Structure 1
Amino acid sequence: MAVKAEVKDLLEAGVHFGHLTRKWNPNMAPYIYMERNGIHVINLYKTVAKLDEACEALTKIAASGRKVLFVATKKQAKDIVAEKVSAVNMPYITERWPGGMLTNFVTIRKAVKKMTSIDRMKKDGTFDTLSKKERLQVERLRAKLEKNLGSIAEMTRLPGAIFVVDTMREHIAVKEAQKLNIPVFAMVDTNSDPRPIDYVIPANDDASKSIEIIMKQVTDAIAEGLTERKSEKAEAAEEKATRAEAPASTAVEEVETATAPAEAAPKVKKQAAEATGDDLTKIEGIGPKAAEALVEAGLGTYVALAEADPEKIKDLLTEFSSRLAHLDPGSWPKQAKMAADGEWEALNAWQEEAKGGIE
């Protein structure tokens, strides 16, 4: 379990310092404690609460096997983000946000593949056959692609969430994520608008120490999620090996179970799922907010979601929050059916074939 941040630690790091009062955004009023010497002071008790909430959600996203894209192009943040995020093997953008990074993901992937093809040329000797001028041009192109897109080379599909440092500077990234219903986590200062952000972390986004302590908490939460996923995979592999080595009597029992009345197995399976609940964020297109809406509506399992009507799902989402009204749940029952049947390889293959994870 990751060590949670304390108010004392955040205070020492200067997380509470906001902007000048004349530069404030009124929507940040709930997170402001007081004003002193013309500067707003952030309520660190609310920062701790919001940070814990964000870390819990990030742990679940990491445990589900999805990536979290970090965006921080300001000078104070880029080196800190690159260092912390590299440690948990997550993609990040620290140079400049390439327009259409999310909304035109297919084209961005082509640029990444171009970088890979240049590396292949160097390995198979094709690069040496080029003229000196052509080699120089290719080298420059490779260096440019590496600088802007090198950190997202392993991101083969749309991320499960994005984490932003300074929402005013990275407003294009926030808008693209909103358009695709990708959850947005962000450090939000007193001069920023928290309304477009799904998980607001009120904090000073200008000081290096403040950014570092928040990033440490966030990356620790992601590391915890990755550890959970790794242990789950190990347990699944161990269980599979145990089944393979099971005695013949067990095999006979399994055959008898399989030959039992057809209605019995689905009924037992459905009751078990309803008792435990499923991680709906493994379904492409369902974020934490949408999952919360489905659980509240009684569709918290793969079995229940597989039997639901997409139109009714859309009505439920709209009723839960107007911000979820643009979602298209058309493929959710299909994906849920594969998940309920344990066909994870088929589900992953379907999600990979979809354009950047979207049909």
Structure 2
Amino acid sequence: MAQLTYKELLNAGVHFGHLTRKWDPRMAPYIFMEKNGIHIIDLNKSLASLDQASAFVKGIARSGRKIMFVATKKQAQEIVSEEAKRLKMPFVTERWLGGMLTNFPTIRKSLKKMQNIEKMLSDEKTAANLAKRERLMLDRDRIKLERLLGGVTDMSRLPAALFVVDIKREHLAISEAKRLGIPVIAMVDTNSNPELVEHAIPANDDAYKSVSLITLAIGKAIEEGIMERKQDKEAAELQEAEEAKKAADAKKEAAAEKAAAQKAVADAKAEEAAAVAPAEKAEAPAATEDDEAPKKKRTRTKKEVTAETPAEAPTESPKEEGDKA
């Protein structure tokens, strides 16, 4: 986190407050002294408050949430809008529209309308079919909406916090944020009530150098939070990849162990079968011819069957007996 020094704050005129007759008594703890009718802000208190505010916005940015920059006073518009654009944060540097936070759905409709107008005008075919007067009116509406809502075009949801340059001037924004419970970080001059915001940074909110220095310090803290979020994301992805690799290696190792175990069982069974086979062969008795005889059933020939049949005596016929008589 970028640390500002006492001398840097002094050179930027952060210590200059308002006329003593315009002061808010609730700023007394942050006032160092009175000089020539002007209150001088205690820069040690400013440094401490800035460190706390920076740590707070850094944490919000690290969580991936948005911080809205609000500064409609002329001397703050340029630096605030540039820093917000650089950080890709929403911002309001023109007039604060009532309900920008409390009636956000309506604001989103206006944003959609602006986008539709831009789409119509950018399409040559559609633009050619429009009457000249109608095209001029649409272009006028687009310019107006872009001026008022250009800084919140990409804001899809309410911001997590507000950074405000002058809480007295931006009282509407402070009021809406308070109603919604949105914390506010703000530059608070001696004419303002620091109790209206969660993180008050006592500082000169009128001088360009002072506004620029504080805004850039807050922007630096937000940038660090964004970078840390990116690093956290990369570390998480790396860890996830390592865990996936470990899981794959463990699965592969388990599969190899299972295959080895199955092979060992198969080898053991094969060895056991090889040992049992010779023993069974040795114990079996040798087969004899008589044992094999019944098994061999030979088919006898007709000649052999005839030879084995006994010869029968021939029978004389009655005719032959009569002749003999």
TM superposition score normalised by structure 1: 0.68
The secondary structure found in structure 2 opposite 1:195 is helix
Write the mapping of 1:194-205 to structure 2, written as runs, cut at 5 A: 194-205=194-205
Pairwise CA distance, 1:232: 1.3
Cα 1:44/1:253, change in 2 over 3 Å: farther
1:131 is aligned to 2:131? yes
Q: What is the Cα deviation at residue 242 of structure 1? A: 3.3
Aligned residue type for 2:23: W
Query: Which residue of structure 1 lines up, in the alignment, with residue 2 of structure 2?
Result: 3
User: CA separation in 1, counterparts of 2:217 and 2:201?
Assistant: 12
- Cα 1:253–1:184, aligned 2, differ >3 Å: closer, same or farther? farther
1:41 matched to 2:33? The reply is no
What is the Cα deviation at residue 127 of structure 1? 2.7
2:163–2:184 CA contact under 8 A, matched in 1: yes
Map Cα deviations across residues 21-65 of structure 1 (whole Å, 9 max, x no partner): 000000000000000111000000000000000000000000111
Deviation at 1:88, TM superposition (A): 1.0
User: CA–CA distance in 2 between the matches of 1:207 and 1:252?
Assistant: 67
Identity %: 54
- Indicate the SS of the match to 1:3: coil
Query: How far does the alpha carbon of each residue in 1:96-119 deviate from its partner, in whole angstroms, 9 at most, with x for none?
Result: 101100000010011111111122
Work out the number of aligned pairs and report it. Answer: 253
> How far apart, CA to CA, are the structure 2 residues paired with 1:248 and 1:3?
43
Following superposition, the deviation at residue 215 of structure 1 comes to 0.7
Aligned to 1:109: 108
Which has the bigger relative contact order, CA under 8 A and spacing at least 6? 2
Q: C-alpha separation between the residues in 2 aligned to 1:108 and 1:150?
A: 12
Distance 1:249 1:190, change over 3 A: same
Distance 1:248 1:137 in 2: 63
1:220 corresponds to: 220
* Residue in structure 1 matched with residue 238 of structure 2 by the alignment: 238
1:117-149, CA deviations, whole angstroms, 9 ceiling, x for partnerless residues?
122223443233211111111111111111110
1-side partners of 2:168 and 2:249: how far apart? 65
Bigger Rg over Cα:
2
> After superposition, where does 1:1-359 map in structure 2 within 5 Å?
2-124=1-123, 125-246=125-246, 248-251=248-251
8 A Cα contact 2:2 2:221, kept in partner: no
CA distance in 2, matches of 1:176, 1:230: 31
Q: Structure 1 runs of 4+ off > 4 angstroms?
A: 251-254
- The question of whether the paired residues in 1 share the 8 Å contact of 2:185 and 2:200 is answered with yes
Specify the code of the residue in structure 2 equivalent to 1:45: N
Given that 2:87 and 2:223 are in contact with CA atoms closer than 8 Å, whether structure 1 keeps it comes out as yes
User: Where do 5+ consecutive residues of structure 1 fail to align?
Assistant: 255-359
Question: 1:63-82: per-residue Cα shift (whole Å, max 9, x none)?
Answer: 11111001100011111111
Q: Secondary structure at the match of 2:196?
A: coil
TM-score normalised by the chain length of structure 2:
0.75
RMSD over aligned CA atoms reads 1.6
The residue that corresponds to 2:284 in the other structure is none
